[in-house]
Structure 1
């Protein structure tokens, strides 16, 4: 132990003499290892770590497929009556719960925040072991059809909205006229499974009875709703295939009876698929993780190559010190341990820096990528992270020590001690230098090529024309209670009054009582009167101002007029994609659907942000009772949320502000993944090129310095500068070429192994991207060949022959 401590002290004393060397190693390895530990921890949590729920392997959710007559899946969400039939009659799951994801305006608070709400049956808390920090969860008094208005808060909501009020159980929350008594708060450590969408966090849990499904839709067997969710714990010993068959039979047989009189659903069916929790939560993120791992491992390899150059130079500098050790009896093994004590200390310090940077990475992922990657809330330095860190210390310390020790010719050390050190010191073999060059070029070429592809594809998606204009526009969503019979007229009157008040504001240019063009289209069932052919385009409710406001072009026919909206006329407008499906060789104008619904216009199709193609759409006349509006402001003008709330209160007490957002900001949010990919890929490409430039310069500079006497001799006998430049380039060209060839092999394996993911990227443009990549790496390589040589050939030959600076 005393010998070990002595070696560490000596290593520390030696390293203190070279602060620039230490700083270079710590910055390079600390940064790259920090990224590696961050991504490794993320990969461990997503792929290997069990979910934080009891008997998580038995927890399943169900996919409900509505299959049309051509055996195509028309929708993947439950209809309300099918979900209820499943819940009440299934025997596959020992315990089950229903969920409906929604959002509500908290009218009992002065600022009326919009909170994400989930309506659940009591078993939900038990299945996920959702413990309370205070109070209780739902119980038998909150079972289905009990209509007991109680609420459970998330810890975050208790903290942000109620300042951790210890008397919270004596409080109530009010949503759209219903007051719910708070009975519990979920503990802070609970992690909600992200079943509907990544990053979704419920703020308030309410009993299932109060979900916002209308009475009409509770009886509608054909209208699906993506917010309806079923979860259950498997209670039978059956295969997934057997379970799918059993549940499909249960649901489909009953559904066929219920829709037997409806022509639209002739030859349609229901298919059920069960999915374990982990696959649902992970989704398609696994491929993203593998790509991130590949990128960060590539950076680590480049960093290792650069650090190897530093250690090679460091070992060369230490030749006299090592020679003294050898002269007093140090064996080759002891010399290895001497070097290992230095590499180990540096790697330990690097990993400490890496852990700090990894923790920063966790924060960035949790705050900026929670909607793109699942389970990021679980990211923290854990046993796996620490074990990985220790593994990195051991692996890289041994690697750099081995590499440095391989340079040592033990029997030549005494000669080095006796000489002046010129020309007889430690040298790196030509094969080692060639291997380092090949490694650098291969890794950097592959990484830069892939990152340029990702960057170019992201920029293309961000800049693709949408076909509509949303400049100076905002979308307004109003909170309203479900309209009962006879209340539609009063709500319509309140909304018309609000519309009038908004138009009277000097900042506003136009108002459209329509759904935002950025919001998803609902699925509508249409049957053509003449042919009985069935269609399910995306549908949206709009008024007569919508197309003019967003400048969506009319191809033929007419837009809606004010009379269509006032009289709720059965007319619709289709986009050119849907019109082509309806009438491939003619016009869709005048076609009739569902009895009395007539096509009166065709508009140019629009492409929503982040979508790769334009889909079939249909637009229907809105009702004045619809609770969504678009506001177009005059250039440079706007209304604050406070101003909008004041106008809503002035218009009617039955309206509240549910949501108010700029359409441009909404578009940016929809393109967040593309922006993130573009920034990340560009940053990685730049960092990769920077590290490669440093690495290649270090290797080729060392090679040139080793040939300094030879170059000086050539200069002395009359060699021209250009000839010497060509000689150095020619000598290094094979290694660079082999690096390119190796990178092609790496890329080939990547594209073959991930062909299903990367197929969209394979096109003729890859050749231009490849050319750009080869040019960049070739330029860096040529620069690394020329610049170290420049200092030798631009001075008299005598300096090179003397080995003088």
Structure 2
């Protein structure tokens, strides 16, 4: 052990004499190894590491599916009575829980913050084995129909809003009219399963019975909700297929019995499909994180090609040292070990630097990608990370050692010591130099091709026109808290609020509408052509006034907008989008047609058709707009270069009713950008990888070409002394070193064409030729610039200076 330590100490002393070489290697490999460690940890977390819950492989979400004539209408939606039926009568889960995700104003906390609230039963805490900082979770005696108002708060809520007060279990928490007793605080290290959306963290868990779902929806068989979940731990011995079959039979039988006589549901059915916790949490991000890992690996390979050139140059400089060692009796194995000690020290230090880079990478991802990539908060430097970093160091040290010792011709070492002067040292062969250029061109071209294709897809999402205005618009939802109001009272209150808001100098207009365009998937309703017919459509729904369409700049392709009289009278009229219009009238004659909404006996007349709007990462869906709303929801249009302060608005509307509070205050432009956040994160990471790849490839090619031109310096000086002009010299050099570049590009082009042909027959991966061609052009330009920079000291020097080696 002492001998081994001495070997490494001597290697470290040797490296101290080459600080420039060490800094170049450590910087190049440290950054790229850090990127690889970061992406390795992310992929290990997604693909390999188990969820931090007992029996994680038996944890499932029971997803609801709605069908009509065996054609799926809704996926991931549940009916309230179906959710409770599964909770009460299922026989496939050891533990089961129903969950409803909401946002609520906590009126007992100063400032009445709106927090993420999850209404649930005791089974959820049992399923995930939630650790508690204080108190207890919701108990089974407080489950369905117990009407026992209890609350569990998160550690963050306890810290942020209660200052970690020790008597928290004696406190109460108020939501709406109900005061809940706080019975527990979850532990700081509790990792909540992100089943509803990535990055959503529950602040308060409340007893199930007190969720805000209206009573008609609790008993109705036509109101589907995406925020209702049923989760459970599968019994041992029960397979996923068996559970699917049993749960589908249980729910569909009840559904059929409860919808007898409802014409449009005559051929309707529902199914239950179990989805594992892993799949529900990760979603469609498997491919994304794998692409990041492949990109980081390609970066490391390009860096290795760069570093190989540095190592080969250092080997040439140390050739006489190796010759002396051979003369004194060192065998090939001894030389390999000597080189291995030195390279391992460098690779180990590079990996340690990589761990530091990875740590900052984790923090960067947690800050900017928490709501775009799953399980980001679980990223950390752990034992697996360190083992991976050391393994990479050992692998790279072995790789470089093999290259260096293969470059040294052992039989020449003894004889070379007897020689001196020019030519007695070791030179990197032209074949090796060409292979270095070839490898970097191939790797850079492949990485840029993949990056540009990903960039094109994500930029296409970001740059897609929304079809509606987002700037200078604020969506505000208000509540009167515990105060109950009748519909006429609310309508009068709405008019008073609009009048007050319009008094503000920065406000241009106000619309009373439930949702902004990108939010209408929160309300899905049934639209049918006939009251008891089978031609039904689940449409995203909004209730609007006559100012909504012009305020958002929605384009009317046929018909007219609502009038103020239509809104005042709550006229039985609707606007529909092009998709819904084509569903009922493929010939384009939907205008004037009567449709039935939510099975109400009176028909609604289609008075206008608006152009489809675009919601990021969401397919085009049917949309219906009804005339009039009694909800305290508003869209406020601001004048250019003006802003609206939430507190200013609160002070203003409190003059109408002192009980009014702001439930939600969202700038429409910010809300739309949040929908693009995942693509913005992908673009940022991919662009960084592409720029770094191009930079590393250019450095590598420049290094090889500089060394090659240095070896040919005398030859080029002779050519210039007999009359060759700079243009001729440049042509000769470009001609010689363009071959590995062209071979590399040709190889990459062939591979890209094969991938393109394959992508035409699969939905799992898409590749386009234009972004690929752009990557080839960039690689060529980079190679030309690198060659020109390498030549600059030759073509502008005097021949005599070159021949003298000055």
User: Would you call these one fold, judging by a TM-score over 0.5?
Assistant: yes
- Determine the structure 2 residue equivalent to 1:791: 793
**Shift in alpha-carbon separation, 1:774–1:342, aligned structure 2, 3 A:** same
Q: Which residue of 1 aligns with 2:783?
A: 781
Q: Report if aligned partners of 1:98, 1:230 keep a CA contact under 8 Å in 2.
A: yes
SS at match of 1:82: helix
* Partner of residue 740, structure 1: 745
Displacement of 1:68 in angstroms is 1.3
Q: Secondary structure at the match of 2:198?
A: coil
What does the per-residue CA deviation read over 1:330-351, in whole Å, with 9 as the maximum and x for residues that have no partner?
3332222222222111111111
**TM-score scaled by structure 1?**
0.94
Structure 1 distance, partners of 2:690, 2:606, is 52
Distance 1:483 1:84 in 2: 29
Contact 1:105/1:479 (<8 A) preserved? no
Residue pairs, 1:30-45, within 5 angstroms: 30-45=30-45
Which residue does 1:381 correspond to in 2? 381
- Secondary structure at the counterpart of residue 569 of structure 1: coil
How far did residue 483 of structure 1 move? 8.7
Partner of 2:570: 568
Q: CA deviation at 1:138?
A: 1.2
Task: Select which of 744, 750, 770 maps to 1:768.
Answer: 770
Tell me, in whole angstroms, the C-alpha distance in 1 between the residues paired with 2:167 and 2:14: 63
Structure-1 separation of matches of 2:236 and 2:383: 35
* Mapped contact 2:309–2:703 kept (Cα < 8 A): yes
Partner of residue 629, structure 2: 623
Q: Distance in 2 between matches of 1:195 and 1:27?
A: 40
Deviation, structure 1 residue 294: 1.0
Tell me how far apart the structure 1 counterparts of residues 70 and 228 of structure 2 sit (CA, whole Å). 26
Q: 1:754 to 1:366 in 2, by over 3 A?
A: farther
- More displaced 10-residue stretch of structure 1: 124-133 or 500-509: 500-509
- Equivalent pair of 1:554/1:601 in contact (CA under 8 Å): no
| Aligned twin of 1:363 | 363
Give the match for residue 687 of structure 2: 682
- In the TM superposition, residue 647 of structure 1 has moved relative to its aligned partner by 2.5
1:602 maps onto 2:603 in alignment: no
Give matches, 1:585-596, under 5 Å: 585-594=587-596, 595-596=601-602
Name the counterpart of 2:503: 504
The worse-fitting range, judged by mean Cα deviation, of 58-67 and 140-149 is 140-149
Question: Relative to 1, partners in 2 of residues 1:532 and 1:148: Cα closer, same or farther, differing over 3 Å?
Answer: closer
Corresponding residue for 1:133? Answer: 133
Q: After superposition, what is the alpha-carbon deviation per residue over 1:698-723, rounded to whole angstroms, capped at 9, x for unaligned?
A: 12222222233333344445445444
- CA displacement at 1:236 relative to structure 2: 4.9
CA contact (8 A) 2:151 2:183 kept: yes
CA distance in 1, matches of 2:765, 2:556: 32
Q: Give the alignment's Cα RMSD to 1 decimal.
A: 2.3
1:523-602 matched pairs, under 5 angstroms:
523-529=524-530, 533-594=535-596, 595-602=601-608
Correspondence for 2:449: 449
Change (3 A) 1:204 1:238: same
Quote the Cα distance in structure 2 between the aligned partners of 1:717 and 1:339.
Answer: 44
Q: Deviations over 1:622-650 (max 9, x none)?
A: 322x1321111122222212112223433
Residue 371 of structure 1 aligns to a residue whose secondary structure is coil
Call closer, same or farther: CA 1:74–1:8 in 2, change over 3 Å.
closer
Give the match's secondary structure for 1:740. Answer: helix
CA distance in 1 between partners of 2:618 and 2:135 (Å): 48
Instruction: Give the gaps of 5 or more residues in structure 1.
Output: none
1:56 corresponds in structure 2 to 56
Kindly indicate whether the alpha-carbon contact (under 8 Å) linking 2:368 and 2:681 is maintained by their aligned counterparts in 1: no
Stretch of structure 1 that moved more, 292-301 or 236-245: 236-245
SS at match of 1:111: coil
Q: What residue is the counterpart of 2:246 in the other structure? A: 246
Cα distance change on mapping 1:155 and 1:244 into 2, 3 Å: same
| SS of 2:330 mapped into structure 1 | coil
Whole-angstrom distance in 1 between the partners of 2:285 and 2:254:
36
TM-aligned CA deviation for residue 579 of structure 1: 2.2
Please state if 1:23 is matched with 2:28: no
Compute the displacement of 1:107 (Å): 0.8
Q: Which range moves more in the overlay, 272-281 or 652-661?
A: 652-661
Pairs within 5 Å for 1:188-267: 188-267=188-267
Equivalent pairs counted in the alignment come to 799
Shift of 1:271: 1.3
Whether the aligned pair in 1 keeps the contact of 2:66 and 2:73 (CA below 8 Å) is yes
Instruction: Kindly state the Cα deviation for residue 414 of structure 1 after the two structures are TM-superposed.
Output: 4.2
- Deviations, residues 639-670 of structure 1 (Å, cap 9, x unaligned): 21211222343332443212112111112111
Classify the secondary structure of the residue corresponding to 2:215. coil
CA contact 1:198–1:370 (8 Å) conserved in 2: yes
Q: Aligned partners of 1:281, 1:754: CA distance in 2, in Å?
A: 27
Q: Write the deviation string for residues 527-580 of structure 1: whole angstroms up to 9, x where unpaired.
A: 213976322332211111101211212233221122222222221011233223
Match for residue 3 of structure 2? 3
CA deviation after TM superposition for structure 1 residue 789, in Å: 3.5
For residue 749 of structure 1, report the CA deviation from its aligned partner.
6.7
Match of residue 696, structure 1, among 689, 692, 701: 701
Q: Gapped runs of 5+ residues in structure 2? A: none
Question: 1:33-70: CA deviations, max 9, x gaps?
Answer: 11100110111111111111111111111111010125
Q: Name the stretch that deviates more: 422-431 or 263-272.
A: 422-431
Alpha carbons of structure 1 residues 674 and 482: separation in structure 2 relative to 1, 3 Å: farther
Contact 1:135 1:185 in 2 (8 A): yes
2:493 corresponds in structure 1 to 494
**Secondary structure class of the residue paired with 2:663:** strand
User: Could you tell me whether the CA contact under 8 Å between 1:478 and 1:657 is conserved in 2?
Assistant: yes
In the alignment, what sits opposite 1:665? 670
Q: TM-score, normalised on structure 2? A: 0.94
1:337 pairs with 2:343: no
Q: C-alpha separation between the residues in 2 aligned to 1:227 and 1:789?
A: 65
8 Å CA contact 1:513, 1:542 repeated in 2:
yes
Taking a change above 3 Å as real, the CA distance of residues 459 and 284 of structure 1, as seen in their structure-2 partners, is closer
Shift of 1:784: 3.1
Q: 1:65 and 1:616, CA in 2 relative to 1: closer, same or farther beyond 3 A?
A: same
Cα distance in 2, alignment partners of residues 791 and 728 from structure 1? 13
Shift of the alpha carbon at 1:420?
4.2
Secondary structure in 2 matching 1:72: strand
Residue 423 of structure 2 aligns to a residue in which SS?
coil
Deviations 1:696-750 (A, max 9, x none): 1112222222233333344445445444433333333332222123323554676
Alignment of 1:100-115 (within 5 A): 100-115=100-115
Compute the displacement of 1:613 (Å): 5.3
Q: Matched residue of 2:576: which SS?
A: strand
Which shows bigger deviation, 550-559 or 208-217? 550-559
Q: 2:302·2:443 contact (CA, 8 Å) conserved in 1? A: yes
| In 2, Cα distance between equivalents of 1:529 and 1:597 | 9
- The verdict on how the C-alpha distance between 1:467 and 1:185 changes in structure 2, with shifts beyond 3 A counting, is same
1:705 aligned residue: 710
